[in-house]
Amino acid sequence: MAATGDDQHLLCGICTNGFTSSGQNEPRQLRCGHSFCADCVDDFRLHAANNVILCPNDAGKTLKMTHERTAAQQRVVCVIGRVTTPATEEAPKNYPLAAAVEAKEKQERDRMAALLKCGTAAYSLTRAETQRVIEMCQLANEVDMAADLPSMQSRLHTLVTSPVEGSTVTRGQGVFLTKATRNGPSYGDLLRCLGDTKSLVFVVKKRDYLFGVFISAGIQLPDDPTGENMYDCDGGDFSLASHFHTPKIMMEYSRVVWVAGREGSVDEAKLTIGRWLWLGHQGGAADDMRSCRQIILRDDVPDGYVGVMNEDGIALLGGSAAFMADEVEVLSVV
């Protein structure tokens, strides 16, 4: 679930993952009144000194701590009455906050359902659903907002089933799952937004360069949060701008996807696709998925390439081997 702007209270202040209405990310409330996700509260209990949980909030300012936080950080206490919580006590679910999260989750489901309906049965869209599609796809400048409902249904259907400019993917086929500048750039943000979704398209933008990779599988985490998981799937690489004279699918073949655990890394990154694209690369901001590395070896560079190459003939779609992307978006082809 995305949480930005006024929705920051829907994020756990420790791991920064979005709360869910149930499960390991549901909000649990300490005796002082502050809430954190169930997973982090379980970690508090595991590491509690003298069987007492001390709230990690200090004067309302949340410390950004990892699961390897120091003993000094564990001793920071909430100043609201210095109320502590026994580690033997099961922290209760914060039902009002969980209800707000559930409402947000329903809103996201409704938006996705409206977009899919627009591509397959636009004639049945309600006026409220047309507004959801317009907001989700940022189409306000392309739709006559004063038009009658049938006209708007027809116009939206045309827009979402026509190719996105510079791409062969249509707005209706490409359902956006996450956008780093909107949903958050961290690995946790990416995993939260993608969930178990398969058929993923990663789109990377750096200045005028626009390119990406698609895979038939989803992101399969290892059981060990510090470990790694490697698996094969179908996929391909593509360029949308600044590398060829026209958009081009460069290679389509089975590839290896290498996924790090939430607390680990693989090949100096969080996610590596085909040893062609590294996201969350350690050469930059390790937990920022916009920190990228990308290369195409000389023998694999397609004919007609007019983009940047180094002295060894290696194609650099982002302008350099390692770079901080302006945006990383992921959509699912449905």
Compute the half-sphere exposure of residue 193: CA atoms within 13 Å on the CB side of its CA: 26
> In the predicted model, what is the mean pLDDT of residues 182-190?
86
Does one domain contain both 152 and 182?
Answer: no
In a domain, 316, yes or no: yes
In a domain, 169, yes or no: no
Q: Where are the beta strands (DSSP E) in 115-189?
A: 174-179
Nearest Cα to Cα of residue 283 among 274, 294, 275, 298: 294
Does one domain contain both 39 and 152?
Answer: no
Only one residue has tokens 């680990």, namely 264
Return left, alpha or beta for 30; rule: phi > 0 is left, psi -120 to 50 is alpha, else beta: beta
- How far apart CA 150 and CA 230 sit, in angstroms, is 49
Does one domain contain both 86 and 103?
Answer: no
Give 97-108 pLDDT, tens digit per residue.
Answer: 999 988 887 787
pLDDT at 88: 84
> What is the phi/psi pair of residue 67, to 5°?
-70, -10
- How far apart CA 19 and CA 102 sit, in angstroms, is 9
**Where residue 76 sits, what CATH number does that domain have?**
3.30.40
In a domain, 168, yes or no: no
pLDDT at 64: 36
pLDDT at 67: 37
Residue 8 above 90 pLDDT? no
Average pLDDT, the chain: 80
Does one domain contain both 186 and 257?
Answer: yes
Instruction: Quote the number of domains for the chain.
Output: 3
> In the predicted model, what is the mean pLDDT of residues 37-61?
79
In a domain, 167, yes or no: no
Lowest mean pLDDT among 23-37, 39-53, 165-179: 165-179
Q: Between these two residues, 16 and 273, which has the higher pLDDT value?
A: 273
Does one domain contain both 20 and 68?
Answer: yes
- How far apart CA 281 and CA 320 sit, in angstroms, is 13
Rg, C-alpha atoms of the chain:
23
Does one domain contain both 191 and 289?
Answer: yes
Domain range spanning residue 76?
Answer: 5-93
> In the predicted model, what is the mean pLDDT of residues 265-293?
85
In a domain, 166, yes or no: no
> In the predicted model, what is the mean pLDDT of residues 193-199?
86
Domain boundary among 33, 59, 93: 93
Nearest Cα to Cα of residue 240 among 211, 201, 213: 211
In a domain, 227, yes or no: yes
Does one domain contain both 130 and 256?
Answer: no
Does one domain contain both 184 and 318?
Answer: yes
- How far apart CA 147 and CA 89 sit, in angstroms, is 58
Q: Provide the total of helices (H) and of strands (E) in the chain, helices listed first.
A: 7, 16
pLDDT at 207: 87
Residue 170 above 80 pLDDT? no
Does one domain contain both 293 and 317?
Answer: yes
Return left, alpha or beta for 230; rule: phi > 0 is left, psi -120 to 50 is alpha, else beta: beta
Does one domain contain both 179 and 54?
Answer: no
Domain boundary among 34, 65, 93: 93
Does one domain contain both 25 and 71?
Answer: yes
Does one domain contain both 149 and 52?
Answer: no
Whole-angstrom CA distances from 285 to 64, 92, 190, 254, 273 are 16, 36, 15, 29, 18
The set of residues, in sequence order, having a beta carbon less than 8 Å from that of 35 and lying 6+ positions away, is 27, 28, 29, 94, 97
Stated as kind and residue range, the H or E segment containing 291 is strand 291-294
Q: Between these two residues, 251 and 100, which has the higher pLDDT value?
A: 100
pLDDT tier at 273 (50, 70, 90 boundaries)? Answer: very high
Domain boundary among 93, 117, 142: 93
Residue 81 above 50 pLDDT? no
Q: Between these two residues, 81 and 296, which has the higher pLDDT value?
A: 296
